Structure formats: structure tokens, C-alpha cells
Amino acid sequence: MELRKVNIIAIQERYLDIITKQVKEILGDKIIINSITVKDLQKNTVTNEDIVVISNSQIKGLVTQLIPENCPIVIAKRDINYTNTKKLLNLPPGQQILVVNDNKSNTEETVQSLKEIVFEHNYQAYVPEETISNTVDYIVTPGEQHLLPKSLSNVIDIGYRLLSISTFEEIIDLLEINYQRTQIIKRYFKACVSLSGNGVTQTNNNKDIRNVAQYHFEDIIAVSNPMKDAVALAKKYSRNETISHIHIDGETGTGKSMFAQAIHNYSNLAELPFISTSCVSKPFDHVEKELFGSEIDEEISYGLFELAKYGTVCIKDVWDLPLSLQKRLYQVLKTGEFSRLASSEVIPLQSRVITTSSKNSRELEKGLICSDLYRLLTKYSLEVPALAERLEDFSSLIDNIKQRINRSDILFTNEVIDYLKSHDWERNVKELYNVITYLAFLEEAPIGMDSLPFYLRSKANEKKFNDIEIHTKIISKIEEHGFLDESIEILNTFYEGKKVYNSYGRKALKKHLEKKGLSLSEQQLRMRLEVLQELDLTIVRQGRAGTTISRKGEEFLKGYFKNKITRESKELDLKIVK
């Protein structure tokens, strides 16, 4: 009997990996599993014969537009992992427990599950805007420790919530599998044990390594100068046939994979294979065999370098390779040839190699990076700027995300947009995509601050209290050197330049300041710039790119002028009273 394919679709990669592992543990011998995020879902991904499992009802409207009409959809129900409740069970009855999850509905669902299973305690849902009671004894969270209020302790992480038994019963009914309920229950608890532990993180190994290069440079939002520069350099490398290896650096979630695919599609290799693999958390022997292939007991297994032929091999997270493999990769790129494992045959390297990494050169100092490979890769390298360095792209990015999820009608309040721009996006564009996608399915208009995910609302409240303290410290530090007004004028000049996509070297900055009536010597200007850089208020780029104001600098400048207007207004009121 031919196995049917079950497509598991979710917004968050982290949660998708968890439930994919669970489905594999329970139905892995009965079905073909294909897990995919909403952002990667294409119209041809799902066929008529498939079954679709979606992580929640909020994404149903989007998913139905991209799958065949008659394709059955299972809307997943979630439940806590029972095997992670031991700590709760061992507590004395009657504990006051605060439950923290990523949004209101998920928190309420978790509270309900806990009440049904570990009924001996009293549970309270966490709401960021409300004062937390002093009577709380413990905090319980299903894998969301980063959302926890920092002032409280006694945390119990019960791990990510899993798909419920009823969800699997629904899947099995659609598959028409002859499965006894007792067998389902046995396998369900086997999966719970397999996924037990706090903050469980699993890697999805069901994706085919032979990915399709679906992105082009036209898909990359590049309004800001840093992004335009990165795209221009990538295009230059792409069309140069003499360049056999390209390295892409950048923080997590900046779009390095998108750049790699765009480089392939822009080159004369576009019609040839594009094969991608990640080096994160893979055993040494697995990744070595995957890259180079093997020839054991007269059985040949082809590696990526051979499968790609004259196309492109993309090695993601290259610095996660063991040091010995980094050295071997260096020899392959340097000599242009390699051998399979357990073979003496020398095979020419015919494919272009693109590597990516989110670790910087500081790792080199720790001895975790092969210095020869580092020097070789950085010969033809580019850096994808973080979201904080390309805020001019912000509005276009949001519009693009809304278009991709078919929700161009969604509106945000100005307060939300201002806060999103000021937020420290640790996972960059990937995190922004997840947030906008989540908000799009709330069916609220316009989206206000109350609709933001809990972790953003919590940080917004913290920011209000922290901004004043940070602002005061910056002013004090600048005033230690006695030139606050001059520093404000320098920052303002950088800000004005940034609005028209200009950055300045010292000589150009000096001329601009002189036009404003501020004359400084070279030494004075250097001293003031050093302090501003030390406070992270400016970004100093290499070479002739010049210096510009940082996002932190923009926030400080905005706060300074806002407070100045308030002070002047109060002083005027006092004069009128007198």
C-alpha cells in the first residue's frame, strides 16, 4: 500500500520541529511527513492526495489559498506534555501558580490543561499589564522562559505543548489506518517521553537537502543604503565566473539563505542544481558523508559536491563544522578536488560553493575557526545588515510580509509601528515576519499595543521605565567631557544625513558642522566622535563608507529633544506664574 503524505504547517520553526518529531514517533511508519513553515508554503507544495495538519485555526485562511480545494485539513489541538509535570505533582497541594505563555489564548489553554490534569493547585494566567500578586508561589511556562517576569523566581518549565491525542485520532481516521486506540495511546506516551525535558528543542530532519532556489534579488527588500550595497556586491560576485566560493555573513534571521538562492539564480548556473545543507547540531560522520560522499564495501554514496554537479552547494552555518572538517573544506576549496570517504579516487570540485555564518571573527580568537579557511572565505564575502541597520526598509518589509500572507488590508496604530521600529529584533527579519503573521490572523482592526504578543508587550512596559534611566546615563557620560550641545549637533547632522542615505567621514562632517556655525578642531572632533562611538550612538563603517547615527543614537536624540521641549514648556509656565 502506497504511503500518503501528511503536510505539517506552522508559523514558528521552533514549534514545527517539535510537533514534526511527535508525528514521526507516532505515525512515522505509516505516512510520509513533510513539515513546512507558512512563509515557505507554495501553491505546488501540497497535492490532492495529501492531508494537511495546521498548528492552529488562525492560519487556516492563508493555508486554504495555497492548497487544493478538496485537500482535508486537520486543525491541531494542543495539550501539555504529561511527562514534564513531575515537579508540579511533587509540590504540596494548594500552590498559587502563575502560568506564562506567548499570548492570551495559549495561556488560557495551558491553564485549562493544568486544571484538568494537575488539579491540586490554583492557576492564574499571566497578563503583562496587570500587577502580579505577591501570593504567587511558582511560575509555570510551556517552553517560554524568555517571557518570564525577571523579578520572580521558582520557575517550572513543563516544555512545549504537543499535539493532543484527539488530533492524532482525527489524522488516523482520514488516513483510514487500522489502528487500535490502545496502540495510539502507547505510541503517544512514547513520544511524550522522547520529547520530555525543559525547553525541548528538536531538529527537523525530514526536509530534503536538495532545496529549490526560489528567491531572486527582486524578492529582497533593499531601500536602505546598507541593503543596496549588500545586493550590489552579491550581484557582482554572482556574475563573476572566476569566483568559485562566496561567503555570506550576518546575524540570525537577516536573510542569508535568501541571498544565497538569489546569487545562484542571478548567475549562469541558474538552470543547474542548487543544494543546501545546515551544519548545526549534526554528528561529525553524518555531515562529512553528506558533503563528500562515501565508498564503503563497494557501495558508493554521493555527497553534495557530486550531486550538485556544475551547480551550487550552499553550506549554512559553516563555523559549526568540527575544526577537522573545516580544515578539510579548506583543502577542497583551495585545490578544487576531493575524495569520498574510504576512497582514494580524486574527484574534481565542479560546483560553486556558498557558505554562510552568523558567528563573527571573534570566534577565531577562541580557536573554534580554522584560520586558513577564514582567510580564504573572507576573500569574497558580504555581510547582510541586521534589521537595526536598515530601518529605512521597515515599512517596505511590513508591506511585503502583508502581501505574502495575503493580508494587505491589515492596519496598525502609529503607536504599534513606532514601537516595532524601536524593538531590538534579535532574530531580525525572521522574527518580524513571525510577529506580523501572528498579528494578521487576529482579525482586529487596527492592531493596537494590546494585540502584540506577550513578550513584546512586556518589553514595551520595561522600555518605558528603562528609557529615562538610560537617557540620563548617556547625558552624564557626555557631560563628563563637557560638550553636550556639540555632541547633540553632531548626532543631529548624522541623523539628517541618514534620512537622505548619506554617511560622513570626519572631514565631511567638519564642513557640515561649520555651515551650522560650529567650528571644531580635528582633535576636538575626534574626541567627541570617540565618546559617541563608545556609547553606541554611532555606527562606524570600514573604509570610505563613513559614520552614521545608530538606532540607539536616534532614540536618544528623539528623547533628548522631547525632554527639552517639556523642560522649556515648564520653564515658560513658571515665568508666566511669576
pLDDT of residue 574: 45
- Cell 548556473 belongs to residue: 269
Same domain? 395 vs 345: no
Whether residues 170 and 140 share a domain: the answer is: no
Residue 171 CB neighbours (<10 A): 24
Are 348 and 412 in the same domain? Answer: no
Backbone region of residue 336 per phi and psi (left: phi > 0; alpha: psi in -120 to 50; beta: other values): left
Query: What share of the chain has pLDDT > 70, as a percent?
Result: 86
Using alpha carbons, select from 186, 197, 185 the residue that is nearest to residue 84.
197
Residue 365 lies in a domain: yes
Over residues 318-328, the pLDDT tens digits come to 999 999 999 99
* Cα 49 to Cα 4: distance, rounded to the nearest angstrom: 7
Q: What does each C-alpha distance from 372 to 330, 351, 358, 406, 453 come to in angstroms?
A: 7, 21, 18, 47, 44
Question: pLDDT averaged over the chain?
Answer: 85
Mean pLDDT of 462-479: 66
Q: Read off the C-alpha cell for 197.
A: 525535558
- Boundary (domain end) residue, out of 360, 383, 406: 383
pLDDT interval class at 288 (50, 70, 90):
very high
How far apart (Å, rounded) are the C-alpha atoms in residues 437 and 93?
A: 40
Structure-model confidence comparison of residues 254 and 483, the more confident one: 254
What is the pLDDT, as a whole number, of residue 418?
Answer: 87
Per-residue pLDDT, averaged over 467-479, amounts to: 73
- pLDDT-wise least confident of 92-106, 351-365, 390-404, 476-490: 351-365
Task: State how many domains the chain has.
Answer: 5
548 in a structural domain: yes
Is 375 domain-assigned?
yes
Work out the number of other CB atoms within 10 angstroms of the CB of residue 50: 18
- Which of 353, 383, 413 lies at the terminal end of a domain, its last residue? 383
Q: Is residue 152 located within the same domain as residue 176?
A: no
**Number of neighbouring beta carbons within 10 Å of residue 176:** 8
Q: Are residues 151 and 254 in the same domain?
A: no
Whose cell is 565508498? That residue is: 295
SS3 119: coil
Which segments of 305-349 are extended strands (E)?
312-316, 337-338, 347-348
For 267-368, where are the alpha helices, taking DSSP H only? Answer: 284-292, 304-307, 323-335, 362-365
pLDDT band of residue 24 (cuts 50, 70, 90) is: very high
- Does the structure show a pLDDT above 50 at 51? yes
Task: Answer whether 250's CB lies under 8 Å from 383's CB.
Answer: yes
Predicted pLDDT at 438: 82
Model-wide pTM > 0.75: no
CATH of the domain at 263: 3.40.50.300
Q: What is the pLDDT of residues 64-100, one digit of tens each?
A: 888 998 899 999 999 999 889 988 988 899 999 989 8
In terms of domains, do 336 and 375 share one? Answer: yes
DSSP β-bridge partners for residue 7: 34, 52
Tell me, what CATH number does 184's domain have?
A: 3.40.50.1980
User: Does the pLDDT at position 251 exceed 80?
Assistant: yes
In a domain, 94, yes or no: yes
CATH number, domain at 567?
1.10.10.10
212 within some domain: no
- Of 124-128, 147-151, 175-179, 404-408, the least confident: 147-151
Q: What band does 365 get if pLDDT is binned at 50, 70 and 90?
A: low
> 419-464 pLDDT, tens per residue?
898 888 988 998 998 888 888 777 677 898 888 887 787 666 555 5
- Structural domain range at position 395: 387-461
The confidence score (pLDDT) of residue 147 equals 67
The per-residue pLDDT for 245 is 97
Residue that terminates a domain, selected from 397, 426, 461: 461
Helix (H, G, I), strand (E, B) or coil at 359: coil
**Pair (54, 98) in one structural domain:** no
Q: Cα 237 to chain center, whole Å?
A: 26
Residue 207 lies in a domain: no
CB atoms within 10 A of CB 120: 11
Q: Model confidence over 520-562: pLDDT tens digits?
A: 888 888 888 888 888 888 888 665 668 888 878 887 887 777 6
Do 369 and 487 belong to one domain?
no
Cα atoms in the Cβ-side hemisphere of radius 13 Å centred on 98: 23
Q: Is the pLDDT of residue 575 over 50?
A: no
Q: What is the pLDDT of residue 363?
A: 55
| 312-348: pLDDT as tens digits | 999 999 999 999 999 999 999 999 999 999 999 999 9
Categorize the per-residue pLDDT at 360 as very low, low, confident or very high, splitting at 50, 70 and 90.
low
Q: Residue 467 falls within a domain, yes or no? A: no
Whether 342 and 252 share a structural domain:
yes
Instruction: Give the SS3 label for residue 31.
Output: strand
pLDDT above 90: residue 269: yes
Cβ–Cβ under 8 Å, residues 300 and 346 = no
Both 364 and 270 in a single domain? yes
The answer on 320 and 269 residing in a single domain is: yes
CATH number of domain containing 424? 1.10.8.60
The verdict on 504 and 533 lying in the same domain is: yes
Torsional sign, CA 542, 545, 547, 552: negative
| Digit-coded pLDDT (tens) for 178-227 | 878 888 899 999 999 988 864 433 333 333 334 568 899 999 999 999 99
pLDDT score of 331 = 97
Quick one: cell of 242?
572566476
Peptide linkage before 446 cis (omega within 30 of 0)? yes
Report yes or no on 205 lying in a domain.
no
